[in-house]
């Protein structure tokens, strides 16, 4: 069994490397289909909206295929409907659906908690448990194939975009981390950005060092390209300082000077929350530069954290910055949002009650549930970006994760949002 599995993995990797980046996923799924005796195999990529899957296909002009087209490429959107596909992603478990004369298997394609999509297989017979285990492993392998090959092509990004991006949205997209979710032994972090009609300059970011997690949420003043350029200056400065091992105060000082001196729009500034979590101790340093305070959810209690007050970055070139600190306990959840979550109609949201209602959701689903709640009260078009970053602290840094096919199922959502 092990030697057979090794051959399958070797054949899959060879297929991925021998194909072009555009065709790598198709080559891999074909190889998987042959190895597992499937009648058909497909990959459904997660839409950037977080509320649908997209089936990518190569269909010559004039051939069958409905959906968005770019030459011979076709992208068909499959909105979430609470069915097996959505259940597979949210619960991070393989779903088996009986069909006339066949069985459909849906396996989440996930890496470190980031859901890239679904592996869909049609089998002639009901799969045994060991076959399902094999499918789950191959779906995890497919995640690495997607991650590796999307660096070389726009195909996957094009397929994920249900709505065309403006120039400001394109700039903003490049400022976000490559993965919106990261699971580690001690923590889970997940971010989400629900854009306004005219991009409002929001960003979130995180980076993991050996014993430290760095994270931030920023909101550049204004809208459109101007705010996107200001955000670029701010995020670029914060990342540059972070990569020089600067502390939070030095990061803020440097970004403040850079924005005040170099911004293309005089008077521009950025509100920001900067964080540094010591993974060995749970000590979390936080710096609030004119931003909404972070929210701590602990044992059902929801409270805004009092931190030293600071001016937004870039507002005054000579401003001084101070950071505060909290001690995280296992089970704590830290929630950071931008003012788009609280503006206009969204200000009527009862956030404490909402935070409690999504306590059982993985941060990956929790940020989207919060964004959905904002959209529900503010309409389909937001006046300002709504950005969220959720950090769950589990403790146990240095321990091995308990994962299955790219995810810790014990942390997966135990309920689905309404």
> What's the mean pLDDT in 49-66?
72
With cut-offs at 50, 70 and 90, classify the pLDDT of residue 165. confident
123 and 36 Cβ atoms separated by less than 8 Å = yes
pLDDT digits (tens, 9 = 90+) for 249-277: 999 999 999 999 987 677 899 999 999 99
168 and 224 Cβ atoms separated by less than 8 Å = yes
78 and 43 Cβ atoms separated by less than 8 Å = no
**Radius of gyration (C-alpha) of the chain in whole angstroms:** 22
| Residue 348 CA to its chain's centroid (Å) | 26
Predicted local distance difference test score (pLDDT) of residue 14: 86
Token duo for residue 204:
């979130």
Predicted local distance difference test score (pLDDT) of residue 254: 97
Is beta strand 52-58 parallel, antiparallel or unpaired with respect to 73-79? Answer: antiparallel
362 and 413 Cβ atoms separated by less than 8 Å = yes
Same fold, 2-159 and 166-411: no
173, exposed or middle or buried, with CB in 10 Å at 0-12, 13-18, 19+? middle
> What's the mean pLDDT in 11-36?
86
CATH architecture of 166-411: 4-Layer Sandwich (3.60)
pLDDT digits (tens, 9 = 90+) for 359-389: 999 999 999 999 888 888 877 777 778 899 9
pLDDT digits (tens, 9 = 90+) for 294-323: 999 999 999 999 999 999 999 999 999 999
Distance CA 136, CA 35 (A): 14
352 and 370 Cβ atoms separated by less than 8 Å = no
Q: Which residues contact 219 (CB under 8 A, 6 or more apart)?
A: 200, 201, 202, 270, 271, 272, 291, 338, 339, 340, 385, 387
| Per CATH, domain 2-159 is 3.40.50.300 | no
- Provide φ and ψ at 179, rounded to 5°: -120, 130
Predicted local distance difference test score (pLDDT) of residue 329: 97
Give the three-state DSSP class for 372. helix
With cut-offs at 50, 70 and 90, classify the pLDDT of residue 197. low
> What's the mean pLDDT in 400-418?
73
Distance CA 80, CA 84 (A): 9
pLDDT digits (tens, 9 = 90+) for 203-235: 999 999 999 999 999 999 988 898 999 999 999
Sheet holding 301-304, edge to edge: 181-183, 187-194, 386-393, 333-337, 295-298, 301-304
Predicted local distance difference test score (pLDDT) of residue 346: 66
pLDDT digits (tens, 9 = 90+) for 95-124: 999 999 999 999 999 999 999 999 999 999
> What's the mean pLDDT in 47-76?
76
Give the three-state DSSP class for 241. helix
Mean of pLDDT over the chain: 89
Distance CA 242, CA 231 (A): 16
Give the three-state DSSP class for 248. helix
| Residue 155 CA to its chain's centroid (Å) | 19
Sheet holding 68-70, edge to edge: 68-70, 73-79, 52-58, 40-46, 114-123, 102-111, 95-99
79 versus 408: which is more confidently predicted? 79
> What's the mean pLDDT in 167-190?
94
Query: Is the per-residue pLDDT at 336 higher than 90?
Result: yes
The answer, as to whether pTM is greater than 0.85, is: yes
Predicted local distance difference test score (pLDDT) of residue 65: 53
> What's the mean pLDDT in 12-31?
87
20: which DSSP letter? -
Give the three-state DSSP class for 96. strand
Give the three-state DSSP class for 7. helix
Instruction: List the chain domain ranges.
Output: 2-159, 166-411
């Amino acid at each position: 069994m092990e030697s057979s599995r090794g051959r399958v993995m070797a054949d899959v990797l060879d297929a991925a490397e021998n194909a072009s980046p555009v065709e790598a996923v198709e080559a891999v799924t074909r190889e998987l289909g042959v190895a597992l005796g499937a009648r058909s195999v497909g990959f459904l990529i997660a839409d950037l909206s977080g509320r649908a899957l997209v089936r990518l296909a190569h269909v010559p002009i004039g051939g069958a295929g409905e959906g968005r087209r770019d030459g011979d490429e076709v992208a068909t959107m499959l909105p979430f409907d609470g069915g097996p596909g959505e259940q597979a992603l949210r619960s991070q478990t393989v779903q088996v659906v009986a069909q006339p004369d066949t069985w459909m298997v849906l396996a989440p394609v996930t890496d470190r908690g980031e859901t890239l999509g679904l592996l869909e297989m049609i089998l002639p017979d009901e799969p045994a448990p060991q076959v399902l285990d094999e499918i789950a492993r191959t779906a995890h392998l497919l995640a690495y194939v997607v991650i590796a090959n999307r660096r070389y092509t726009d195909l996957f990004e094009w397929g994920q975009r249900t709505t065309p991006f403006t120039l400001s949205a394109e700039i903003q997209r490049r400022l976000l981390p490559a993965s919106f979710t990261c699971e580690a032994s001690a923590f889970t972090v997940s971010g989400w950005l629900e854009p306004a009609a005219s991009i409002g300059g929001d960003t979130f970011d995180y980076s993991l060092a050996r014993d430290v997690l760095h994270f931030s949420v920023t909101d550049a003043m204004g809208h459109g390209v101007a705010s996107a350029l200001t955000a670029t200056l701010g995020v670029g400065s914060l990342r540059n300082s972070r990569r020089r091992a600067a502390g939070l105060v030095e990061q803020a000082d440097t970004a403040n000077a850079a924005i005040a001196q170099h911004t293309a729009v005089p008077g521009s500034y950025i509100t920001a929350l900067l964080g540094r979590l010591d993974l060995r101790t749970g000590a979390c340093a936080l710096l609030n530069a004119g931003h909404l305070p972070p929210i701590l959810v602990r044992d059902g209690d929801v409270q805004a954290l009092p931190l030293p007050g600071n001016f937004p970055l870039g507002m005054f070139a000579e401003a001084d910055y101070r950071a505060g600190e909290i001690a995280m306990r296992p089970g704590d959840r830290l929630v950071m949002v931008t003012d788009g979550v609280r503006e206009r109609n969204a200000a009527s949201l009862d956030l404490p009650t909402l935070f409690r209602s999504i306590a059982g959701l993985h941060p990956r689903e929790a940020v989207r549930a919060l964004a959905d709640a904002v959209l529900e009260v503010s309409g389909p078009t937001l006046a300002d970006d709504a950005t969220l970053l959720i950090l769950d602290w589990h403790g146990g840094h240095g321990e091995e994760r308990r994962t299955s096919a790219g995810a810790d199922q014990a942390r997966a959502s135990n309920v689905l949002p309404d």
